[in-house]
């Protein structure tokens, strides 16, 4: 069955520290997408990244970087030099094919990141 | 462009009452999705509309939940009668097509007391 595991329920770091959020997934699909979303205190889900299963290149966007390892079914997210504004709940998600070319998302339980000043 | 809009942002109702949540997707997005997060758990898929048609409603918990998307524009999710376990945050999302990621709304926090 499709599953996303975010084993870290809550992480606290001091500002300027680097932090890595783990995501491990299980899927039977050969083609799939992986996502990270951020949920700040305001409540909305903010899209961060989408990764195709055929593209294992790591990606960097400013202070954010993502490490996709198909061999270990992991898609980890690192924030470098964390800031207080990074405090949020972060969700990892996996697409699951519904048929007819449509997908739904399988989410992990989220990791709450607290960045202390 | 305006994002996905959900109304209300919060709702507190008593057990047994009816509540209707509304979602306005991004204009032109044929795909509309409802998800729910029960306290501390993962965000779970409820259903998917393509225009006005329900494409998949395998995640709907039971027949107390009714989703509609008349005219293929906004969607409503009605819970009748509400139970305590229905409390959570209900998210709506829309997408232009399956090659793009979703855009989520801010969610409706439903509390059933």
B72 Ramachandran zone, left/alpha/beta (phi>0; psi -120 to 50)? left
Q: Judge whether B44 is closer than 8 Å to chain A, CB to CB.
A: yes
Q: What pLDDT score does B82 carry? A: 97
Interface touch B43/A102, C-beta < 8 Å: no
- Best mutation site among B38, B102, B103, B108 for testing chain A: the one with the most A CBs within 10 Å? B102
- Tell whether the model's pLDDT for residue A84 goes beyond 80: yes
Residue B40: what pLDDT? 77
Confidence band for A78, pLDDT divided at 50, 70 and 90: very high
pLDDT of A62 reads 93
Q: Are A66 and A55 within 8 A, CB to CB?
A: no
Compute the Cα dihedral for A94, B91, B37, A58 and give only its sign.
Answer: positive
What is the pLDDT confidence band of residue A100, given thresholds at 50, 70 and 90?
low
Query: Lowest mean pLDDT: which of A8-12, A28-32, A78-82, A92-96?
Result: A28-32
CA-CA distance, B80 to B15, in Å (whole number)? 10
Q: Could you read off the pLDDT of A19-69 as tens digits, one per residue?
A: 999 999 999 888 899 999 999 988 888 989 999 898 888 888 899 999 999
Two tokens, residue B75: 């969607």
A97 touches chain B (CB under 8 A): no
**Other Cβ atoms closer than 10 A to B48:** 24
For the cut 70, the answer to whether the pLDDT of residue A99 exceeds it is no
How high is the pLDDT of residue B98?
Answer: 63
Give the minimum alpha-carbon distance from A54 to chain B in angstroms, rounded to a whole number.
14
Answer yes or no: do B107 and A43 touch at CB < 8 A.
Answer: yes
Distance of alpha carbon A92 from alpha carbon A107, whole angstroms: 6
Contact with chain B for residue A54, Cβ under 8 A: no
The pLDDT profile of chain B, 113 residues, written as one tens digit per residue, is: 679 999 999 999 999 999 999 999 999 999 999 999 998 788 999 999 999 999 889 999 999 999 999 888 999 999 999 999 999 999 999 988 766 678 899 999 999 99
Coil vs helix vs strand at B84: helix
Distances (CA, A) of B67 to B19, B52, B73, B87: 12, 10, 13, 17
Per-position DSSP letters for A57-110, written without gaps between them: --EEETTEEEEEEGGGTEEEEEESS--GGG-EEEEEEEEEEEETTEEEEEE---
Enumerate the residues of chain A whose CB falls inside 8 A of the CB of residue B60.
Answer: none
């Amino acid at each position: 069955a499709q599953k996303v595991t975010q084993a870290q329920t809550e992480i606290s770091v001091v500002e300027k520290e680097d932090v890595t959020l783990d995501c491990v997934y299980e899927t039977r699909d050969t083609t799939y997408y992986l996502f990270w979303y951020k949920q700040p205190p305001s409540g909305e889900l903010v899209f961060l990244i989408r990764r195709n299963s055929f593209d294992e290149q790591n990606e960097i966007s400013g202070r954010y970087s993502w490490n996709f390892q198909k061999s270990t079914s992991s898609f980890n997210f690192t924030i470098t030099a964390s800031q207080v504004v990074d405090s949020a709940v972060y969700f990892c998600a996996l697409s699951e094919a519904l048929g007819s070319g449509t997908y739904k998302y399988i989410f992990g339980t989220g990791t709450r990141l607290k960045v202390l000043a | 462009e305006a994002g996905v809009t959900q109304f209300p942002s919060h709702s507190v109702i008593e057990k047994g009452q009816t509540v209707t949540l509304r979602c306005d997707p991004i204009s032109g997005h044929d795909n509309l999705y409802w998800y729910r997060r029960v306290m501390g758990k993962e965000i779970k898929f409820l259903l998917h509309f393509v225009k006005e048609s329900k494409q998949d409603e395998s995640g709907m918990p039971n027949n107390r939940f009714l989703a509609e998307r008349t005219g293929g524009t906004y969607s409503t999710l009605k819970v009748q009668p509400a139970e305590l376990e229905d409390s959570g945050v209900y998210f709506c999302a829309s997408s232009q097509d399956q090659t793009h990621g979703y855009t989520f709304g801010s969610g409706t926090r439903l509390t059933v007391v």
